[in-house]
């Protein structure tokens, strides 16, 4: 073996700030974000259950009356918008926290024309 390359035991890091990993692990904002991600994951799961109920109710409404219930349609749009906002926050695609810790509940106004 050549003595030109130091072994791992011989390497000394001359950095008073610590390694980037240490800094990331000690970052309060990262851990706070983790807490909010867990909260929003649970809220998204609950909202999905409510959304499934709205879907089933809307289907039976259409089946028995032949018409689309506009209130259920608006509720479904609000649920879909909320899930979108929450997933964007949890995947670091948005910094703004959705309802209930940031923005207000999304409106149920339809965004597309039928």
pLDDT tens readout for residues 49-69: 999 999 999 999 999 999 999
> Is residue 73, in this structure, part of any structural domain at all?
yes
**Model pTM greater than 0.85?**
no
> Is residue 27, in this structure, part of any structural domain at all?
yes
> Is residue 1, in this structure, part of any structural domain at all?
no
> Is residue 97, in this structure, part of any structural domain at all?
yes
Number of structural domains, the chain?
1
> Is residue 14, in this structure, part of any structural domain at all?
no
Percent of the chain topping pLDDT 70: 80
Residue 31 belongs to what domain range?
22-109
> Is residue 6, in this structure, part of any structural domain at all?
no
What's the pLDDT band for 110 if we cut at 50, 70, 90?
A: low
Is the CA virtual torsion 103, 105, 109, 110 positive or negative?
positive
Residue 39 neighbours by CB distance under 10 Å: 15
pLDDT of residue 10: 61
> Is residue 99, in this structure, part of any structural domain at all?
yes
Report the Cα 38 to chain-centroid distance in Å: 9
> Is residue 13, in this structure, part of any structural domain at all?
no
């Amino acid at each position: 073996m050549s003595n030109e390359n130091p072994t791992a035991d011989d390497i000394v890091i001359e950095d008073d700030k610590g390694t980037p990993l240490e800094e990331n692990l000690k970052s309060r904002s990262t851990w706070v974000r983790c807490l909010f991600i867990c909260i929003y994951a649970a809220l998204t799961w609950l909202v999905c259950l409510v959304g499934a109920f709205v879907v089933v109710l809307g289907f039976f409404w259409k089946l028995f009356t032949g018409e689309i219930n506009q209130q259920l349609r608006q509720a479904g749009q609000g649920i879909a918008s909320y899930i979108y906002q929450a997933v964007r926050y949890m995947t670091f695609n948005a910094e703004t926290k959705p309802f209930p810790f940031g923005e207000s509940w999304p409106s149920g106004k339809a965004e597309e024309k039928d």
